[in-house]
Chain A
Amino acid sequence: AQSVTQLDSHVSVSEGTPVLLRCNYSSSYSPSLFWYVQHPNKGLQLLLKYTSAATLVKGINGFEAEFKKSETSFHLTKPSAHMSDAAEYFCVVRPGSNYKLTFGKGTLLTVNP
């Protein structure tokens, strides 16, 4: 079975400072990994995905994530936070063996002026 742990339920940063949202996963098979963002009262938008190619993945809006198999981690980073980044972020795992996507519980990112 697969699972996802987002290590922080809430992260608060100042505008212009780096963002780090942490995600650890477990999967019996080589997984695909995703980060989705959800702005208030909106649907889910894909930020980036890892599908067994390059371990450093670049996404939209300046976000990137690094797949580290030895640490079973897929942390999301951004060098400089913008006010518009304030949202909830979900780490998602999809094992190579099945069709189901398993979500973490989410990390709420607050960006202070």
Chain B
Amino acid sequence: NAGVTQTPKFRVLKTGQSMTLLCAQDMNHEYMYWYRQDPGMGLRLIHYSVGEGTTAKGEVPDGYNVSRLKKQNFLLGLESAAPSQTSVYFCASGTRRDTEAFFGQGTRLTVV
């Protein structure tokens, strides 16, 4: 009963390095989301996907790219990490528009 699984849970990057965060869900959900959480800011939507092969920009997409090649996976990429991308990243998945989203446990990323 895994739900939404994020990999890795912690990561430290140097400025300019690249990395990919993986989100996997086993609930056959159509919608998947990437959020970032910063103190006093709540969760802000980076990118989202409404189905396999489709992605769209959220509120704060700059500096990030995403891909959804398989329905169960949603990848978040940082091509050239910056200190401003230090944050906790949450992936979520959901289905019909009137139902809740299910969240992963988060990835704490520090860019030095």
Q: Do the two shown chains form a genuine complex with each other?
A: yes
The answer to whether A103 and B44 touch (CB under 8 A), given A32-B98, A42-B105, A43-B104, is yes
Q: How does the 8 Å CB contact mask read for B24-51 relative to A, with 1 for contact and 0 for none?
A: 0000000101010000111111001010
B45 and A100 within 8 A (CB): yes
Q: Are B43 and A43 in contact (CB under 8 A)?
A: no
Closest to B33 in A: A101
Q: How far is the CB of B66 from chain A (nearest CB, A)?
A: 14
Interchain CA distance A106-B41 in the complex, whole Å: 8
| B100 contacts A by Cβ under 8 Å | yes
Is the Cβ of A9 less than 8 Å from the Cβ of B40? yes
Which residue of chain A is the closest to B101 with respect to CB atoms? A101
Cβ of A90 and Cβ of B99 under 8 Å apart? no
Q: Which residues of the other chain, B, contact A90 by a CB distance below 8 angstroms?
A: 42-43
Quick check: A99 and B31 within 8 Å, CB to CB?
A: yes
Chain A residues near B40 (CB-CB < 8 A): 9, 105-106
Q: Which of A63-84 contact B (CB under 8 A)?
A: none
Which residues of B53-99 are within 8 A (CB) of A?
A: 58, 90, 92, 94, 97-99
User: Which residues in A have their C-beta under 8 angstroms from that of B41?
Assistant: 105
Q: Which residues of B contact A (CB under 8 A)?
A: 31, 33, 35, 40-45, 48, 50, 58, 90, 92, 94, 97-101, 103-106
Listed A/B pairs (10) with beta-carbon separation below 8 Å = A43-B90, A43-B104, A51-B98, A51-B99, A98-B97, A100-B45, A100-B58, A101-B45, A101-B94, A105-B42
